[in-house]
Amino acid sequence: MYYPSKANGEAGGERAPWLPSYAHAGNWSSFVKLPYHLLGGFSRLFFRGATLRSPTRLPPELVEVEGDSSQLPLIILSHGLASWGNHYSSLCSYLASFGYIVITLDHTDGSATVASLEDGPKQFEVVDESKANIENFKRRRGEQLEQRIRDVSDVWNFVKHYKKGDSDDSIVDEVLSKTGKEEFIVAGHSFGGGTAYACLESPLFEGDSCRAGLLFDPWLDAFKWSSSFKDWKNNQKEKIILTCDKGFISSTDKWRVQLEPISEMDNTVKVRYLGMDHIDVCDVPLMLPISTQPDSWFIENMWECKEFLKRIGMHVNEDVAKDLDEKRADVGKRCNKSYKAPF
């Protein structure tokens, strides 16, 4: 859970650290078929002392919200395949600095590196996209999409029905008591972006409670394999889709075929970055740069989100917005080229 702090825009306080747990990093190894302890040990060695690339300070103290009726808007973020919620700490922190409560979750469909389940440990079916298993692959991904939507719904229902005093944790109690309970914005990256798009039209969310979407390089193929969605191109809710053209997924033909249906979507701001990598909005590239300019892409994405939120009538902290405008202008001077490509 991320929330706007009184330290926003101030020099005081320490920058928040970032370090994945050994289990999270170790399970990355399993995903890329390396020994479990290889990336677990690597994370402890290379991320020691790393800090978030967002205006985040410690100790965090929630901004003052005037009156009981004045509440902060909510964003719920869905992570990608082989990831987890706090792998997007910089992204969530920046969105929170706009004046939002941001909650990210560890999905229970088997796509998270680590997730806590109420009924204890569980074995998940692992599928690949080989020709021999293609139908099984499609079935499994469709099922995962359905579970991911239910996960987001669980978070929303928890927040919506939360009453002051329900938690013994004073910070959780204070933050959730100040969180808006009429509507939320759904966000996500990769498989999480596809999940966010699905939530925009899912019947699990009554009326317009799921108001708008922030989709970071979304993977949408699972819609074709889900029993709940017949036509996923005509969703009418406001959304922004930020795509890129590099990376182990984004550069493949099977990913590029999504560009055409995205180009046909209504009520959608569509941005495509040339040179950006698929994982440049995640924490690891920002901590240990492995692409051309991860910090620059991050600022570009945050600026577009800021403009989108303002366009649909949402509030954005003026000081943070001004600072972001200045950072984006600096990015443009240093790079001296256009990043965007038309759909």
9-36 burial code (b ≥16 CB/10 A, e <16) = eeeeeeebebbbebebbbbbbeeeeeee
Residue 251 has pLDDT above 50, yes or no: yes
User: Greater confidence, 259 or 93?
Assistant: 93
Domain of 77, CATH number, reads 3.40.50.1820
Residue 9 has pLDDT above 50, yes or no: no
Contact of 3 with 101, CB cutoff 8 Å: yes
Q: Is 4 contained in some domain? A: no
258 pLDDT band, cuts 50/70/90, is confident
303 pLDDT band, cuts 50/70/90, is very high
**Rounded percentage of the chain residues whose pLDDT exceeds 70:** 78
The stretch 267-273 carries a mean pLDDT of 88
Residue 94 has pLDDT above 60, yes or no: yes
Q: Are residues 175 and 270 in the same domain?
A: yes
Phi, psi for residue 36 in degrees, rounded to 5: -55, -45
Q: Are residues 278 and 245 in the same domain?
A: yes
Which tokens go with 209? 């409670």
145 pLDDT band, cuts 50/70/90, is very high
Rounded Cα distance between 98 and 315, Å, is 8
214 pLDDT band, cuts 50/70/90, is very high
11 pLDDT band, cuts 50/70/90, is very low
Which tokens go with 332? 């443009």
Q: Are residues 88 and 23 in the same domain?
A: no
Q: What is the pLDDT of residues 36-89, one digit of tens each?
A: 777 777 776 667 667 766 666 666 677 766 555 578 999 999 999 988 888 998
The 3-state secondary structure of 233-286, one letter per residue: CCCCCEEEEEEEEECCCCCCHHHHCCHHHHHCCCCEEEEEEEEEECCCCCHHHH
Domains in the chain: how many in total?
A: 2
Length of the chain: 343
User: Greater confidence, 294 or 93?
Assistant: 93
Q: Is 12 contained in some domain? A: no
User: Greater confidence, 339 or 188?
Assistant: 188
Q: Are residues 145 and 279 in the same domain?
A: yes
* Residue that terminates a domain, selected from 9, 28, 50: 50
Which tokens go with 218? 């979304």
Nearest to 228 by CA among 148, 284, 329, 133: 148
pTM: 0.89
Q: Are residues 188 and 323 in the same domain?
A: yes
Mean confidence (pLDDT) of the chain: 82
Q: What's the pLDDT at 74?
A: 98
Q: Is 222 contained in some domain? A: yes
